[in-house]
């Protein structure tokens, strides 16, 4: 019988104004297809792709959200639980560029700080650009985020965007596990639990050994010790990974 495969699932939300290429980007990445026809996303859409990064199996769950303001009440609910985010604007849409700060805030208001990346899509239309290269770079520098220029049409930097977010997330969770110290469980034993130790030796706080006399354990001189019959345990934080189930079925209205 095969052992259960270890898998990490990452929820990624793609946000930005309408018509910047969010749906096309997800379609390109997950299905390898591109269409010039624009269809407005109603609410949210969802696709997934399985990849391997540094020898680890990762399931990317990509949520395509509507960019129109009238859908804010719907889309905000789908930000929750996201571990990564793509902030998208279009080379030929100045408003979408100026809205990046707003989109970042909307996501962080729901999920806090997560891994993010800014993309300037439709770079194949650079001749009609309404955003200067220096402006886009300055925005990324101010927000302290990685910046990619992409072309979904030409499949330029699409894979790189999602691979970067995956590697960033894996690095973060691995650092959390490594930095979490192993805490030896703290045990305070009351008088009623000492009978099993009558014939043993115990160390005092200076590391010296005291023997039991007359069948009773000598009491420590320090009377400030807590004598309550309690056991206090502080388990160390462990990361357990098993095959994560796919998100619960969610009804999405798709045009």
* pLDDT for position 241: 44
Q: With a cut of 80, say whether residue 101 has pLDDT above it.
A: yes
Q: Which of 168, 171, 167, 243 is nearest to 8 (CA)?
A: 243
194 Cβ neighbours under 8 A, 6+ residues apart: 217
- At a CB cut-off of 8 Å and minimum separation 6, what does 57 contact? 5, 6, 7, 8, 50, 51
Comparing 1-5, 69-73, 223-227, 249-253, the range with the smallest average pLDDT is: 249-253
The position carrying tokens 């379609």 is 27
Secondary structure class of 245 (helix, strand, coil): coil
Helix axes 100-111, 133-143, angle to 10 degrees: 20
Question: Domain-by-domain residue ranges, the chain?
Answer: 7-178, 189-236
pTM of the model: 0.67
Q: pLDDT tens digits, residue range 159-218?
A: 999 999 999 999 988 887 665 554 544 434 344 444 444 444 444 444 444 444 444 444
Distance (Å, rounded) from C-alpha 91 to C-alpha 87? Answer: 13
Length of the chain counted residue by residue:
255
| Sheet containing strand 146-149, strands side by side | 44-53, 56-65, 7-16, 84-90, 115-121, 146-149
Query: What's the Cα-to-Cα distance from 64 to each of 10, 89, 108, 183, rounded to whole Å?
Result: 14, 14, 17, 42
Pick the CATH number of 7-178 from 3.40.50.2300, 3.40.50.300, 3.10.20.90, 3.30.70.100: 3.40.50.300
Q: How far apart are CA 131 and CA 201, in angstroms?
A: 76
Residues 148-170 have pLDDT tens digits of: 999 999 999 999 999 999 999 99
- Cβ burial of 67 (10 Å; 0-12, 13-18, 19+) is buried
Q: Which of 119, 100, 106 is nearest to 75 (CA)?
A: 106
Pairing of strands 146-149, 202-203: unpaired
Query: Which H or E run contains 246?
Result: none
């Amino acid at each position: 019988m095969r052992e259960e495969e270890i898998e990490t699932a990452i929820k990624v939300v793609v946000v930005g104004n309408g018509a910047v290429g969010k749906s096309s980007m997800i379609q390109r990445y997950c299905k390898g297809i591109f269409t010039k026809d624009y269809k407005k996303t109603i609410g949210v859409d969802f696709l997934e792709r399985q990849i391997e990064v540094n020898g680890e199996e990762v399931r990317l769950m990509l949520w395509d959200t509507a960019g129109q303001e009238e859908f804010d009440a719907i889309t905000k609910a789908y930000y929750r639980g996201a571990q990564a985010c793509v902030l998208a604007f279009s080379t030929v849409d100045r408003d979408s560029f100026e809205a990046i700060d707003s989109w970042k805030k909307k996501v962080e208001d729901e999920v806090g700080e997560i891994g993010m990346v800014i993309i300037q899509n439709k770079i194949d239309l650079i001749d009609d650009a309404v955003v200067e290269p220096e402006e886009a770079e300055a925005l990324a520098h101010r927000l302290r985020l990685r910046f990619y220029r992409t072309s979904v049409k030409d499949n330029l930097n699409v894979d790189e965007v999602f691979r970067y977010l995956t590697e960033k997330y894996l690095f973060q969770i691995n650092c959390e596990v490594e930095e979490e110290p192993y805490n030896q469980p703290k045990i305070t034993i009351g008088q009623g639990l000492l009978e099993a130790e009558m014939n043993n030796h115990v160390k005092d706080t200076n590391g010296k050994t005291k023997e039991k006399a007359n069948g009773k354990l000598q009491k420590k001189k320090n009377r400030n010790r807590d004598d309550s019959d309690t056991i206090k345990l502080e388990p160390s934080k462990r990361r357990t990974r098993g095959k994560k189930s796919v998100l619960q079925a969610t009804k999405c209205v798709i045009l």
